[in-house]
């Protein structure tokens, strides 16, 4: 049994939730939550770290009621327990802090973006901050959030006697708070093809137009994993990850200096979760979690790279390879002959000043081979 409880404690529980708690013998939760409930119980405060300890706790204790903050199934312990214990878990929710915040602010819950920064980097906020968008942040530090987002409202101890809602201006605030943002700054779109100059780069960068075409072939979907092999400045990895917060990437790069740069680009463009592996393909690909799609932007001519990538894909997986040199084109041509797929040659010319006039400056043409397994 998992019962959601708010800052209003025992009195704020529904009669059904109070009955469910009262029928249990053992109460588990944070010390703060355990202190909210009167009566005779065996009380077990969460150990740290919590998740590895859970199976043991549920073997030792029977007849347990877990106290969770707000709605246990919303960034809460409820989801972890259902994963661990399956159908044995009954959940009685309480309004979440996000519902209470929307009630106080007069915001439509369905129009608000919610970001949890509990044990996560504040850089995750960056892709969410778009003009006019309302955002609620859980587990954030007001100073860090305000530095990224501008003016914020802090909502503390929602639903409790000590509730406070105020525009933040540097004061100390309760760690139990929700932060509300109405963003007024500029933003980058989530659609691939960001300007080249948003990336820190040593020139090893798939240029904007080619990047947009490559990502359309990679076809990212929520929850899917990409390998970006020869990740360079990380632009393909980053734009894959930016399409949806659940998209994941492993960027493989042989140069340690570039790998560090990928990390910096990923943080500044709001996807700090991009996983960077320093190593040379194909060896560096061994043991990695199998991907849904693979982009090869470097190492095409290294023996075994394309074979290892092809082997790693399950049926339906997408492989996209970019070739710029004659040598890499020759490898691509062999694979195209063997597997088919789609060959596209991308020739980009950019209008630029020629004296007092404007002329076309060609970029090196790129051959893109894409194939679905």
Ligand X SMILES: C[S@@+](CC[C@H](N)C(=O)[O-])C[C@H]1O[C@@H](n2cnc3c(N)ncnc32)[C@H](O)[C@@H]1O
Interface residues toward ligand X, by CB under 6 A: 204-206, 230-236, 252-255, 258, 280-281, 297-299, 302, 305
Nearest to ligand X of 74, 295 (CB atom): 295
Nearest to ligand X of 124, 226 (CB atom): 226
Nearest to ligand X of 165, 198 (CB atom): 198
Report in angstroms how near the CB of residue 323 gets to ligand X at its nearest. 10
Report in angstroms how near the CB of residue 300 gets to ligand X at its nearest. 8
* Pairwise CA distance, residues 341 & 358, whole Å: 38
> Do 273 and 245 touch, CB atoms closer than 8 A?
no
User: Residue with structure tokens 């347990």?
Assistant: 64
Nearest to ligand X of 75, 261 (CB atom): 261
Per-residue DSSP letters for 163-179? -EEEE-SS----SSEEE
Report in angstroms how near the CB of residue 228 gets to ligand X at its nearest. 7
Report in angstroms how near the CB of residue 285 gets to ligand X at its nearest. 9
The angle that helices 256-268 and 235-242 make with each other, rounded to 10 degrees, is 30
User: Residue with structure tokens 């013998």?
Assistant: 25
Nearest to ligand X of 129, 250 (CB atom): 250
* Pairwise CA distance, residues 113 & 98, whole Å: 10
* Pairwise CA distance, residues 61 & 68, whole Å: 17
Nearest to ligand X of 67, 366 (CB atom): 366
Report in angstroms how near the CB of residue 238 gets to ligand X at its nearest. 8
Per-residue DSSP letters for 221-259? -TT-EEEEES-TT-HHHHHHHHT-TT-EEEEEES-HHHH
* Pairwise CA distance, residues 50 & 137, whole Å: 23
Nearest to ligand X of 75, 258 (CB atom): 258
* Pairwise CA distance, residues 99 & 311, whole Å: 47
Nearest to ligand X of 102, 331 (CB atom): 331
* Pairwise CA distance, residues 150 & 181, whole Å: 8
**Prior bond to 49 cis, omega within 30?**
yes
What letters, b where the CB count within 10 A reaches 16 and e where it falls short, cover 50-85? eeeebeebbeeeeebbbbbbbbbbbbbbbbbbbeee
Report in angstroms how near the CB of residue 332 gets to ligand X at its nearest. 14
**Prior bond to 175 cis, omega within 30?**
no
Report in angstroms how near the CB of residue 329 gets to ligand X at its nearest. 14
Nearest residue to ligand X on Cβ basis: 298
Nearest to ligand X of 76, 234 (CB atom): 234
Report in angstroms how near the CB of residue 273 gets to ligand X at its nearest. 18
Report in angstroms how near the CB of residue 371 gets to ligand X at its nearest. 18
* Pairwise CA distance, residues 145 & 123, whole Å: 9
């Amino acid at each position: 049994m998992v019962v959601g409880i708010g800052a209003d404690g025992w009195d704020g529980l529904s009669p059904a939730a109070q009955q469910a708690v009262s029928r249990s013998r053992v109460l588990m939760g944070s010390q703060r939550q355990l202190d909210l409930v009167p009566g005779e119980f065996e009380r077990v405060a969460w150990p740290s770290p919590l998740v590895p300890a859970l199976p043991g706790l549920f073997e030792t204790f029977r007849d347990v009621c877990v106290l969770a903050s707000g709605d246990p199934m919303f960034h809460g312990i409820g989801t972890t327990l259902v994963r661990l214990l399956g159908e044995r878990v009954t959940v009685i929710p309480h309004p979440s802090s996000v519902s209470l915040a929307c009630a106080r602010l007069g915001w439509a819950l369905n129009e608000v973006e919610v970001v949890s920064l509990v044990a996560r980097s504040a850089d995750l906020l960056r892709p969410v901050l778009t003009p006019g968008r309302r955002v609620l942040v859980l587990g954030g530090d007001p100073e860090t959030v305000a530095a990224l987002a501008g003016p914020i409202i802090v909502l503390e101890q929602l639903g409790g006697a000590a509730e406070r809602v105020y525009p933040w201006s540097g004061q100390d605030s309760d760690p139990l708070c929700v932060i509300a943002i109405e963003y007024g700054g500029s933003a980058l779109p989530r659609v691939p093809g960001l300007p080249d100059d948003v990336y820190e780069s040593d020139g090893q960068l798939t240029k904007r137009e080619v990047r947009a075409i490559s990502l359309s072939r990679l076809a990212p979907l929520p929850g899917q994993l990409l390998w970006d092999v020869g990740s360079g400045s990380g632009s393909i990895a980053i734009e894959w990850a930016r399409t949806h917060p659940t998209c994941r990437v492993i960027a493989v790069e042989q140069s340690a200096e570039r790998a560090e740069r990928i990390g910096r680009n990923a943080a500044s463009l709001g996807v700090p979760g991009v996983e960077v592996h320093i190593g040379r393909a194909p060896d560096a690909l061994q043991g990695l979690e199998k991907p849904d799609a693979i982009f090869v932007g470097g190492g095409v001519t290294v023996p075994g790279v394309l074979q290892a990538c092809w082997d790693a894909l399950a049926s339906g997986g997408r492989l996209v390879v970019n070739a710029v040199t004659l040598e890499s084109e020759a490898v691509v041509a062999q694979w195209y002959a063997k597997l088919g797929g789609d060959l596209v040659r991308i020739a980009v010319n950019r209008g630029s000043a020629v004296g007092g006039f404007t002329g076309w400056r060609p970029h090196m043409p790129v051959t893109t081979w894409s194939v679905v397994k």
